[in-house]
């Protein structure tokens, strides 16, 4: 079974690739030997498949996931940004990239041009971040902030095979 992704270079992955990805999505630290054993292929095959998917841009690396709360970052918030002009998007993003508390930035439809997720130590940190950094970015007209009370779901997409 082949899965074709409508991209300029028709990327093709098969059932084995999806199985490997599914295992790694659950735990990226699983050794290739263990993946190979569970799928009845060699660790070398797993390695080659992952390298192929990296070259195709499907796999973009691995990352360490930490719990910010355990490190003293108690506030998670979302910020909707109104731009002065939509043509200022690239310039605004370039400035926002320099703010380490921003963990996610999305260009959106709807009332906001940009939607951010930020992590802060406390409300004073949030206030300083908004007042001294984000609202001083050239091109931002105004912002709206939403404090998250709890995050219940934060996961990678589940791969669903269709036949």
For residue range 86-100, what is the model confidence (pLDDT) as tens digits? 999 999 999 999 999
In the chain, the domains with their CATH numbers are 2-55 (1.10.10.10), 68-148 (3.30.70.920)
> Quick one: pLDDT at residue 6?
47
| 68 contact partners, CB below 8 Å, separation of at least 6 | 76, 119
> Quick one: pLDDT at residue 160?
66
For residues 25-34, give the mean pLDDT. Answer: 92
Helix (H, G, I), strand (E, B) or coil at 61: coil
pTM for the predicted model, two decimal places: 0.79
Average pLDDT, the chain: 90
Indicate whether 8 pLDDT > 80: no
CA distance 97 to 114: 13
Whether 23 contacts 159, CB under 8 Å: no
> Quick one: pLDDT at residue 4?
45
| 84 contact partners, CB below 8 Å, separation of at least 6 | 139, 140, 141
CA distance 56 to 75: 37
- Continuous H helices in the chain: 15-26, 32-39, 43-55, 89-96, 123-128
For residues 124-152, give the mean pLDDT. Answer: 96
For residue range 96-113, what is the model confidence (pLDDT) as tens digits? 999 999 999 999 999 999
């Amino acid at each position: 079974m082949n899965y074709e992704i409508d991209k300029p270079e028709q990327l093709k992955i098969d059932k084995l690739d999806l199985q490997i990805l599914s295992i790694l999505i659950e735990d990226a630290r699983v050794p290739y030997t263990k993946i190979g054993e569970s799928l009845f292929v060699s660790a070398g095959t797993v390695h080659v498949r992952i390298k192929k998917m990296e070259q195709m841009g499907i796999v973009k690396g691995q990352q360490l996931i930490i719990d910010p709360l355990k490190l003293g970052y108690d506030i998670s918030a979302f910020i909707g940004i109104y731009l002065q002009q939509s043509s200022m998007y690239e310039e605004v993003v370039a400035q926002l990239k320099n703010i380490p508390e921003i963990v996610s930035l999305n260009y959106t439809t709807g009332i906001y041009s940009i939607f951010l997720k930020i992590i802060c130590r406390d409300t004073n940190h949030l206030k300083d971040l908004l007042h001294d950094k984000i609202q001083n970015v050239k091109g931002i007209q105004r912002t709206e902030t939403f404090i998250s009370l709890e995050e219940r779901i934060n996961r990678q997409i589940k791969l669903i095979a269709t036949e």
